Amino acid sequence: MTAHTSALSPTDTALPRDESLDAFAACGLGGSPRSPGQARRFVRSTLTSWALPSLVPDMTLIVSELVTNAVQHALDPSSPPSENPVWLGLFRYPAAVVCAVSDPSSEPPCPRTAHEVAGNGRGLALVGALSESWSWDPAPLWGKTVWASLALPPA
């Protein structure tokens, strides 16, 4: 697992190379409070179709946290509505599945320490605890992509 602190910087060294990609699936999300639920259903359906049901519990939680962060922190309510301001991609590689959530904000994710009784603030800590690695990358034209990987189960 890759640990991250509040001083995150983008990286491209932990992601597998595209030429080893076995499968890919993506969906656009509207950026509403319903988006995390839509993302969980998409993950469950995709991983089941890829015969990876054992990854569903952890990946659905990871994706739910990343999409929730995108909806709550990356979308500007004063901007004109966009049909799909948040995108979710799932990438299957020979040794891992990577989820990637893209949003229009260029601000990096900001892990924080949640108070004991706080109802929020633990999302990125959960992502870090469940994933093999996670980080973010600035997008070429706009925004950023936050990604996390899970190792494939032994064959």
The H-assigned helical ranges of 79-134 are: 123-130
Q: How far apart are CA 45 and CA 142, in angstroms?
A: 29
Whole-number pLDDT of residue 54: 97
Q: Which fold has domain 20-151?
A: Heat Shock Protein 90 (3.30.565)
Q: How far apart are CA 108 and CA 84, in angstroms?
A: 20
Q: How far apart are CA 57 and CA 37, in angstroms?
A: 13
pLDDT in tens, 10-59: 454 455 667 788 999 999 998 888 999 999 999 999 999 999 999 999 99
Tally Cβ neighbours within 10 Å of residue 119.
7
Cα–Cα distances in angstroms (integers) from residue 10 to residues 13, 18, 75, in the given order? 10, 18, 20
Q: Where are the domains of the chain?
A: 20-151
Whole-number pLDDT of residue 3: 34
pLDDT in tens, 109-139: 876 665 565 556 568 888 999 999 999 999 8
Q: How confident is the model at residue 8 (pLDDT cuts 50, 70, 90)?
A: very low
- What is the secondary structure of 7-54 as a DSSP string? S-----SSSPPGGG--EEEEEEE-SSTTHHHHHHHHHHHHHHHTT-GG
pLDDT in tens, 51-95: 999 999 999 999 999 999 998 877 666 665 566 788 999 999 999
Q: How confident is the model at residue 102 (pLDDT cuts 50, 70, 90)?
A: very high
Whole-number pLDDT of residue 77: 61
